[in-house]
Amino acid sequence: MEWYNKGKNEVLKELSTDFSKGLSEKEAELRIEEYGKNELEVQTKKGFLSKFIAQFADFLIIILLLAAGISAFVGEREDAIIILSIVVINAALGIYQEGKAEKSVEALQKLSAPNAKVIRDSNMVIIPAAEIVPGDVVVLDAGDIIPADLRLFESSNLKIEEASLTGESLPVEKDAKAKILGNVGIGDRHNMGFSSTIVTYGRGKGIVTATGHNTEIGNIAVKIQSYGEEETPLQIKLNQLGKVLGTLTIAICVIVFIVGMLQGRETLKMLLTSISLAVAAIPEGLPAIVTIVLSIGMNRMAGKNAIVKKLLAVETLGATSVICSDKTGTLTQNEMTVVKAYVDDKILDVEGIGYDPSGEVKLKGRSISINSLPNLRNLISIGTLSNDAQLDNSTGSYKILGDPTEGAIVAFAGKLGQTSQQLNMIYPRIQELPFDSVRKMMTTFHSNYVEGKVVSFTKGAPDIVINKCNKIALNGRIVDFTKELKEKVLSVNSKFARSALRVLSGAYKVWDRLPEHPTFEQVENDMIFVGLVGMIDPPRPEVKGSISLCKEAGIETVMITGDYRETAYAIAK
pLDDT at 239: 72
Lowest mean pLDDT among 31-40, 135-144, 318-327: 318-327
pLDDT at 1: 64
User: What CA–CA distance (Å, rounded) separates 421 from 415?
Assistant: 15
Q: Which of 160-174, 293-307, 358-372 has the highest mean pLDDT?
A: 358-372
Model confidence band, residue 307 (pLDDT cutoffs 50, 70, 90):
low
Q: What is the pLDDT of residues 250-301, one digit of tens each?
A: 888 889 889 888 888 888 778 777 777 766 676 656 666 666 676 677 667 7
Determine the length of the chain.
573
pLDDT at 33: 94
pLDDT at 101: 41
CA 540 centroid distance within chain: 16
Is the model's pLDDT at 515 over the cut of 50? Answer: yes
326 included as an active-site residue: yes
User: Measured between alpha carbons, how far is residue 143 from residues 194, 197, 572 in Å?
Assistant: 14, 10, 33
User: Could you count the other beta carbons within 10 Å of the beta carbon of residue 151?
Assistant: 24
Is the model's pLDDT at 160 over the cut of 60? Answer: yes
- Are 479 and 471 contacting, i.e. CB atoms less than 8 angstroms apart? yes
User: What CA–CA distance (Å, rounded) separates 28 from 205?
Assistant: 18
HEC sequence for 1-50: CCHHHCCHHHHHHHHCCCCCCCECHHHHHHHHHHHCCCCCCCCCCCCHHH
- For 280-318, letters b (16+ CB in 10 Å) and e give eebbbebbbebbeebeebbeeeeeeeeebeebbebbebe
User: What CA–CA distance (Å, rounded) separates 408 from 338?
Assistant: 6
**Predicted model pTM:** 0.59
Partners of 457 in the β-ladder: 444, 508
Instruction: Say whether 92 sits in a helix, a strand or coil.
Output: helix
Look at 321 and 276; give whichever has higher pLDDT.
Answer: 321
Look at 183 and 56; give whichever has higher pLDDT.
Answer: 183
Determine the average pLDDT of the residues in 500-516. 92
Q: What is the pLDDT of residues 329-360, one digit of tens each?
A: 778 877 889 999 999 999 999 999 889 999 99
Partners of 133 in the β-ladder: none
User: Measured between alpha carbons, how far is residue 289 from residues 69, 86, 296, 309, 316 in Å?
Assistant: 21, 10, 11, 19, 17
User: What CA–CA distance (Å, rounded) separates 160 from 172?
Assistant: 5
Q: Please work out, in degrees rounded to the nearest 5, the angle formed at the alpha carbon of residue 272 by the alpha carbons of 269 and 274.
A: 110
pLDDT at 225: 67
User: What CA–CA distance (Å, rounded) separates 29 from 485?
Assistant: 65
Q: What is the pLDDT of residues 459-495, one digit of tens each?
A: 999 999 999 999 999 999 999 999 999 999 999 999 9
Is the model's pLDDT at 140 over the cut of 60? Answer: yes
Is the model's pLDDT at 421 over the cut of 60? Answer: yes
Is the model's pLDDT at 45 over the cut of 70? Answer: no
Model confidence band, residue 17 (pLDDT cutoffs 50, 70, 90):
very high
Determine the average pLDDT of the residues in 372-378. 96
- Which H or E run includes 305? none
Average pLDDT in the chain: 84
Look at 40 and 445; give whichever has higher pLDDT.
Answer: 445
Beta-carbon-side half-sphere exposure of residue 187 (alpha carbons within 13 Å)? 12
User: What CA–CA distance (Å, rounded) separates 51 from 259?
Assistant: 43
Look at 234 and 458; give whichever has higher pLDDT.
Answer: 458
Look at 82 and 391; give whichever has higher pLDDT.
Answer: 391
Ordered structural domains, the chain, with CATH: 3-42+107-225 (2.70.150.10), 48-98+230-317 (no CATH), 322-331+541-572 (no CATH), 337-536 (3.40.1110.10)
Model confidence band, residue 311 (pLDDT cutoffs 50, 70, 90):
low
pLDDT at 349: 96
Determine the average pLDDT of the residues in 537-551. 85
Catalytic residue among 175, 326, 392, 436: 326
- Are 566 and 497 contacting, i.e. CB atoms less than 8 angstroms apart? yes
User: What CA–CA distance (Å, rounded) separates 359 from 419?
Assistant: 15
pLDDT at 251: 87
User: Could you count the other beta carbons within 10 Å of the beta carbon of residue 104?
Assistant: 17
Look at 245 and 566; give whichever has higher pLDDT.
Answer: 245
Lowest mean pLDDT among 2-11, 173-182, 278-287: 278-287
Residue 333: closest CA among 350, 353, 351: 353
Is the model's pLDDT at 304 over the cut of 80? Answer: no
Q: How do beta strands 149-161 and 123-128 pair?
A: unpaired
Is the model's pLDDT at 11 over the cut of 90? Answer: yes
Is the model's pLDDT at 84 over the cut of 70? Answer: yes
- For 412-434, letters b (16+ CB in 10 Å) and e give bbbbbebebeebeeebeeeebbe
Is the model's pLDDT at 105 over the cut of 50? Answer: no
User: What CA–CA distance (Å, rounded) separates 500 from 514?
Assistant: 38
User: What CA–CA distance (Å, rounded) separates 540 from 317?
Assistant: 23
Q: Which of 165-169, 446-450, 529-533 has the highest mean pLDDT?
A: 529-533
